Amino acid sequence: MRDHGGNLDEAIRLYGGTPDEWIDLSTGINRQPYPVPFIKPSAWTALPGIGGVVALIGAARAAYATQGPVLPLAGAQAAIQLIPRLAAPGRARIITPTYNEHAAALRGMGWQVEEVGTPEALAGADLAVIVNPNNPDGRQMESARLLALLPKVGRLVVDESFADPTPSLSLAPQAGQDGLIILRSFGKFFGLAGLRLGFALTSAADAAALAQLAGPWSVSGPALQIGALALADTAWMAATRLRLHAEAKRVDALAAEAGWNPAGGTALFRLYETPNADQAQRRLARARIWSRSFPYSLHWLRLGLPGSAVEWERLAAAMTESALGV
């Protein structure tokens, strides 16, 4: 099932209200976004130029500490859609449970997809996928363990969409090796998911093939400009990492008071084991707070981090009511 967070329309359909009344914590998108700068009028009126692309790639290389080829795309999702077309359909293996678009995109292109539980079980696959840190449970895998898989699979895709708060986890410094594709998301950490920007860090050959599949102007002019500025803002990134890690602990404390047990997560989202996930989601929804439940678990509930003092107050009150069974 291709279920996703961010489905606020469904929350409104079920529980009423307007978008402005809701706090959407069903995603892992930073709710304190990077401040959008002034956008040059030409970014809206002209086709994106090579100069903007070069500037964005340079900023991404510095931010991700990589020297390998960097391909900007319209979000990590765009890369997920293109990667199955790099080779004839074969056998793919994915560590699950995880972000379900990887399997869906591969199956849609005729790949045989096997779901496995450990990196070692990926060996022998024509294409192997690992989300690190994983969504939704935040599972982390060491770089050495991942790199050891390279000679054992045709291609290794490492989706690092939630790695920005923990740069030491990233394989980006190893990018450029044949068979390794690293995906990075811009919108989650910078809180600008609507900009649709992401990157594939890979070998020269795969970068060229993906660029050919993506076609010209795969990233908008505004995304080029904002992305280059944000990725160069090291002070904002450092302060945001500190804040996110501290606030993740704050959400955990509220969940503990509600009687929920930690089940994983990252600095951008938290996962909890609840007595009944659907019931917990309904109680939060009555306070116009949308959370994420999962079709394969009766107990898992995921929460993003509030973005303002008012949102924290509303979440605390809703969690208290949930603890009381209101």
Is 144 in the same domain as 221? yes
Residue 197, judged by CB atoms within 10 A of its CB (0-12, 13-18, 19+), counts as buried
In a domain, 175, yes or no: yes
Please give the pLDDT value at position 292. 97
Q: What would the two tokens of residue 310 be?
A: 């008012």
Find the radius of gyration of the CA atoms of the chain.
20
Is 21 in the same domain as 128? no
Domain boundary among 232, 264, 284: 232
Is 78 in the same domain as 111? yes
Nearest alpha-carbon partner for 61 in 71, 73, 70: 70
pLDDT tens for each residue of 222-247: 999 999 999 999 999 999 999 999 99
In a domain, 283, yes or no: yes
CATH of the domain at 102: 3.40.640.10
Model pTM above 0.85: yes
Domain boundary among 198, 232, 266: 232
Is 133 in the same domain as 212? yes
pLDDT tens for each residue of 95-121: 999 999 999 999 999 999 999 999 999
Write out the residue range of the structural domain in which residue 310 sits.
8-33+235-324
Q: 127, 155 in Cβ contact below 8 A?
A: yes
Tokens 């989202």 belong to: 269
Is 271 in the same domain as 303? yes
In a domain, 1, yes or no: no
What is the number of other CB atoms lying within 10 angstroms of the CB of residue 320?
13
Please give the pLDDT value at position 1. 56
d(CA 73, CA 60): 12
Is 216 in the same domain as 247? no
In a domain, 261, yes or no: yes
Nearest alpha-carbon partner for 175 in 191, 188, 160: 160
Is 12 in the same domain as 116? no
In a domain, 2, yes or no: no
Is 149 in the same domain as 215? yes
- Residue 33 carries which side chain, given as an amino acid letter? P
CATH of the domain at 16: 3.90.1150.10
In a domain, 3, yes or no: no
Which positions of the chain have pLDDT values less than 70? 1, 322-326
CA dihedral sign, ordered 151, 109, 194, 205: positive
Q: What is the count of structural domains for the chain? A: 2
CA dihedral sign, ordered 246, 287, 297, 254: positive
Residue 326, judged by CB atoms within 10 A of its CB (0-12, 13-18, 19+), counts as exposed
Is 54 in the same domain as 159? yes
Q: 26, 6 in Cβ contact below 8 A?
A: yes
Is 13 in the same domain as 51? no
Please give the pLDDT value at position 153. 98
d(CA 74, CA 195): 8
In a domain, 114, yes or no: yes
For the chain, what is the mean pLDDT? 96
d(CA 201, CA 185): 11
Domain boundary among 232, 250, 274: 232
Is 249 in the same domain as 317? yes
